[in-house]
Structure 1
Amino acid sequence: MTAEGRQRIDKWLFFARVVKSRSLAARLAQAGRVRVNRNKIDQASHMVRPGDVLTITLDRRILIYRILDAGERRGPATEARLLFEDLTPPAPPAADPALQPLRERGAGRPTKKERRALDDWKGEE
């Protein structure tokens, strides 16, 4: 950690348990998948400080974190959660199965149960 609580972005991502290793954190930053205060960065050595807002693009999700503190080490998850405030909006709720359209009986392809009943009725094996 340097003066004023500043820290390299790759170290902070590793300490906050966003990624599994520091080299993955460096690759994430160099690929331009991390924004600091809405500015895209491309260096793993970019310095961040408490109060900065990070937008991190991972495979299937986007994380928005406000940095609360610089990390000292990669500790347990409870310690890592103290480093940031999660500003990520909640995921939209999954579709309610009760609202799914129902197939009327006899419409479309037969189900496995209906096919077996047809085979029994026809006398086929």
Structure 2
Amino acid sequence: MSALMVALGAALGAPARFLVDLALKRRFGEDFPWGTLLVNAVGSLFLGALTALPLSSEAAAFLGTGLCGALTTYSTFAHESVQLTRAKARGRALSYVLASLCLGLGSAWLGLTVTALLLGVD
């Protein structure tokens, strides 16, 4: 059952990532990977919040592994970082790496902390 839940979550997360990336490329151009940065931050926030919730294994598989796993993408982050560096856009590459790390970790911490506070959980 968990494999099915992961697949169902991924079936929502992957197209969402694609559509967000496409919309932001159309809006802001392709000089900076805004789409990946946004979905990774939002996915980290959501996954942080999920960790504070008492979820069943099926819900965790669907929402965490499936949805968040397919919405966020480390491989695309790594690829885009390398591509920016190869294009001699080292300043943008460094900004992207630092923003990704800070936003990802900060969002996960924020999601966990706010959810735990709302639920009254330590």
| TMscore range, shorter length | under 0.3
Q: Which has the higher strand share?
A: 1
The structure whose Rg is larger is 1
- Greater relative contact order (Cα < 8 A, sep 6+): 2
The alignment's TM-score, normalised by the length of structure 1, stands at 0.20
Q: Which has the higher helix share?
A: 2
